[in-house]
Chains A and B, each alone.
Chain A
Amino acid sequence: MSSTNVGGAVESSGKVASHLHPVGSFDVGDHPVPTGREEIWRFTPLKRLRQLHGDAAFEPSKTECSWTAPAGVTIEAVNGEQARALRGISGFVPNDRTSARVIAEVPSTLLVDVPAGIELSEPIVVTLNGTDSGITEAAHIALRFGAHSRAMVILVHEGASSMAQVVEVSVGDGANTSVLSIQDWAREAVHLSYQEALVGRDARYRHVAVSFGGDVVRMNANVRYAGPGGEAELLGLYFVDAGQHIEHRLFIDHNAPHTKSNAIYKGGLQGQGAHSVWVGDVLIRKVAEGIETFETNRNLVLTDGCRADSVPNLEIETGEIVGAGHASATGRFDDEQLFYLQSRGVTSDEARRLVVHGFFADIIKKIKVPDIEARLLAAVESELAQTVGSNPSSGVLT
């Protein structure tokens, strides 16, 4: 395990080239097609992206979109001027060709509009069910949460698609917002997702990425603050099987004072060629006095032949902060844990299952949606069945 606190972090001099200060642009022409040598693309298998990183046509979507909306919430697909007006509501400025093309070329936007002051007890569920991985398509989704609202949006991705997607989240002042993005794709899906949030003054934003399926999933989860006092919690849970590439890239831009962020991502890997990438970029700008940030990534490698890349980056331009740190660890099953459990009569398979459930338990508990918890536990269970056999006694696990 490696852990760094603010004392060990480097204060940037402004002379060192940093990819945490990208110059964005809405002009597609400003973004060349990546070659794979760029810092932000170096982990990604470009050959498997079906040219979504380049100039694949965005064909008419074959993804079925459905939703359940509690009373008071508006969900609609809008076009033309209305759609264009929603581009950038999260402060999103494209940093690469794919996202610039989504913003420029996608004619419609799916808008989820949560009015100010509303408090929802039920989540808003939007399901994107891809019906054809053979076509390349793109989507723009805007999630707008009014001031002092309290709501959760669950974005479920299933079926198969080759999709480039920008999800813009605007969190109003004082709002309490959760966005869960579940990547439960069929095995052949390709998904490039940019999920950007602008967190209002004194607002709370929780983003949860859950990635199980797909051939390549590459998700950016970014946060900026529209004012002081905002808090962001970024959670992630992923399970990577043989041949899969699952990449999560966080960018938390502490651009306002007294803001907080906490990121915890945990992943399990199993099977030949399973590859996970986690990049956690945190920038603490000069104005961001009194902020607090911590990010953690843990990977549990269940078999040989897996690769987990874990890269925390912390760039600090002011020392006047409460705290900043990161931790990253990748390990195998702990033999001592397994021995301890087995010495109490628990079989090897069940001991492994307990340890894996335990590994993910804190993340799953933090999600705090019973339906989702059950779905995640079931997903972990079915992933585990591949390496440790089916579970004869899942009723014992709670």
Chain B
Amino acid sequence: MATLEVKNLHVSVDVEDGKKEILRGVDLTVKSGETHAIMGPNGSGKSTLAYSIAGHPKYTVTDGTVLLDGVDVLGMTVDERARAGLFLAMQYPVEVPGVSVSNFLRTAKTALDGEAPKLRTWIRDVNDAMDKVAMDRDFATRNVNEGFSGGEKKRHEIVQLELLNPKFAILDETDSGLDIDALRVVSEGVNRFRSQGDRAVLLITHYTRILRYIQPDYVHVFVGGRIAEEGGSELAERLEAEGYDKYVRVDA
């Protein structure tokens, strides 16, 4: 049983004329076995929350804590957070020229496990993971995300989720830009990950569409850099019907 606790998190970014506060006191607790959806309008700070937990250098935490099983995450480097069990599936996965997918996956797996995976089972595992998201095996020899379509990049993120199998997965708008087939494939991948029973998912999305495939246990509405309302999956249904207008007006 593991717990990720976000308490009173305040985060700023550098802008031209000083600092701009994006997160204004976020409180959130996610336990293993749970799936939390974070929904909200554009610019509400959802992605900032994801990147702040993962440790992106662009974001400065000005107040609050993030604890993983009681251990301070904010004091860790980005790679230490990953090795502690955090994973971020990115909205815009980054191209790494000259580094093959296969080399990248093996390097990551080796870094996380502290030893290189057994070659024979590893190749089979990689092939299986790619087959499951209907990704051609040839992608293993291509450079990381280079020339991938939007959907291929997202499938590649799910391949990593499958192979690296973290304790906590943060999925940052993994559904955006996907057609319905890709959305189904990606959702199935997330559900396979969840079905292990002791994994936690923080699903960040603008749309309710993906929640038809991935049933959240909790829904948090994110507005103006903090959580404005919380509830169960019924909240997502209400948002689908009513949109974010109510919150945006309240916030303004």
Binding site for B on A (CB under 8 A): 334-337, 339-348, 350-351, 354-355, 357-362, 393, 395-398
CB of A137, distance to nearest CB on chain B (Å): 38
Q: Does B65 contact A (CB under 8 A)?
A: no
Binds A, one of B86-94, B129-137, B236-244: B86-94
Cβ contacts A to B, 13 pairs, < 8 Å? A335-B58, A339-B78, A341-B96, A342-B55, A343-B55, A343-B79, A343-B88, A344-B107, A346-B79, A347-B111, A348-B78, A361-B99, A396-B116
- What's the Cα separation between A335 and B94 when bound, in Å? 10
CB distance from B156 to the nearest CB of A (A): 11
User: Chain A residues with Cβ under 8 A from B164's Cβ?
Assistant: 344-345
* B19 contacts partner chain A, Cβ-Cβ < 8 Å: no
Residues of B with C-beta under 8 A to A342: 55, 77-79, 82
The A contact surface, by secondary structure, is: helix
CA distance A342 to B88 in the complex (A): 11
Complex contact A350–B107 (CB within 8 A): yes
Q: Which residue of B lies closest to A339 (CB)?
A: B56
In the complex, whether B67 has a CB less than 8 A from a CB of chain A is: no
B19 nearest CB across to chain A (Å): 18
Query: Counting CB contacts under 8 A, is B62 at the interface?
Result: no
Q: C-beta contact mask, B58-69 vs A, less than 8 Å → 1, else 0? A: 100000000000
For A357, the chain B residues whose CB sits under 8 A away are 98-99
Task: Please name all residues of chain A whose beta carbon is closer than 8 Å to the beta carbon of B112 when the two chains form the complex.
Answer: 344-345
Contact with A along B207-224 (1 / 0, CB 8 A): 000000000000000000
Since A345-B79, A350-B107 are in contact, a sample of 4 more A-B pairs with Cβ atoms closer than 8 Å, ordered by chain A residue number, is A335-B57, A339-B78, A362-B97, A396-B103
Q: Which 3 A-B pairs have the closest CB atoms?
A: A358-B98, A361-B98, A344-B108
B44 part of interface (Cβ distance < 8 Å): no
List B contacts of A348 (CB < 8 A).
77-79
Is B143 located at the chain interface by the 8 A CB criterion?
Answer: yes
Residues of A within 8 Å of B160, CB to CB, are 344
Q: How far is the CB of A102 from chain B (nearest CB, A)?
A: 38
Q: Which residues of A contact B104 (CB under 8 A)?
A: 341, 344, 354
B82-A343 in contact (CB<8A): yes
Number of A-B contacts (CB under 8 A): 96
B106 at the interface (CB under 8 A from A): yes
Contacts of B78 in A (CB 8 A): 339, 342-343, 348
Contacts of A339 in B (CB 8 A): 54, 56-57, 78, 94
CB distance from B95 to the nearest CB of A (A): 8
Q: State the CA gap A99–B161 with chains docked (Å).
A: 60
A396 B110 Cβ-Cβ under 8 A: yes
B: number of interface residues (CB 8 Å): 33
What residues of chain A lie closer than 8 Å to B106, measured between beta carbons?
396
* A358 to B95 CA separation, bound complex (whole angstroms): 11
* Least CB distance, A141 to chain B, in whole angstroms: 33
- In the assembled complex, the Cα of A355 lies from the Cα of B94 at a distance in Å of 12
- B142 sits at the interface (CB 8 A): no
B83 close to A (CB within 8 Å): yes
Taking the closest CB of chain B, its distance from the CB of A351, in whole angstroms, is: 8
* Chain A residue with the shortest CB-CB distance to B102: A398
One of A335, A337, A350, A395 near B96 (C-beta < 8 A) = A337
Which listed residue (A345, A362, A395) contacts B82, Cβ 8 A? A345
Q: Which residues of A contact B94 (CB under 8 A)?
A: 334, 336-337, 339-340
The answer to whether B111 and A344 touch across the interface, beta carbons within 8 angstroms, is yes
Q: Which residue of B lies closest to A340 (CB)?
A: B94
Closest to A354 in B: B99
Q: Are B116 and A360 in contact (CB under 8 A)?
A: no
Do the beta carbons of B110 and A393 come within 8 Å of each other? yes
**Nearest residue in B to A336 (C-beta to C-beta)?**
B94
Question: Chain B residues with Cβ under 8 A from A341's Cβ?
Answer: 96, 104, 107-108
- The answer for the CA separation of A348 and B164 in the assembled complex, in Å, is 18
B103 and A398 contact, CB distance less than 8 A: yes
B99 touches A350 (CB 8 A): no
Docked pose: A342 CA to B82 CA in angstroms: 8
Complex Cα distance, B92 from A337, in Å, reads 11
Smallest CB gap from A341: residue in B:
B96
Beyond A343-B78, A345-B83, A347-B79, is A359–B116 a contact (Cβ under 8 Å)? no
Q: What CA separation (Å) do A395 and B103 show in the bound complex?
A: 11
Which residues of chain B are near A346, meaning CB under 8 Å? 79, 82, 107-108, 111
CA A340 – CA B95 in complex, angstroms? 9
What's the least CB distance linking A374 to chain B, in Å?
16
Complex: A391 Cα to B178 Cα, angstroms: 39
Task: Determine the distance from Cα of A214 to Cα of B57 in the docked complex, in whole angstroms.
Answer: 37
A354–B107 touching, CB < 8 Å: yes
Bound CA span A354–B104, Å: 9
A342 to B93, CA, bound (A): 13
Which interface residue of A339, A343, A346, A350 has the most chain B CB atoms within 10 A? Answer: A343
Return the chain A residue nearest B113 by Cβ: A345
Quote the shortest CB–CB distance from B229 to chain A (angstroms).
30
Nearest Cβ in chain B — how far from A57, in angstroms? 45
Highest count of chain B CB atoms <10 Å: which of A339, A341, A345, A397: A345
Q: Is the beta-carbon distance between A343 and B54 smaller than 8 angstroms?
A: yes
Proximity bits, B9-27, A CB within 8 Å = 1, else 0: 0000000000000000000
- Residues of B close to A336: CB separation below 8 A: 94
Give Cα distance in the complex from A182 to B111, angstroms. Answer: 34
Q: Closest CB of chain A to B169's CB: distance in Å?
A: 12
Q: A344-B82, A398-B103 are in contact. Are A350 and B98 (CB under 8 A)?
A: no
* C-alpha spacing A385/B131, complex, angstroms: 38
Query: CA separation between A359 and B98, bound complex, in Å?
Result: 6
Q: Which of the listed residues B58, B97, B143 has the most CB atoms from chain A within 10 Å of its own CB?
A: B97
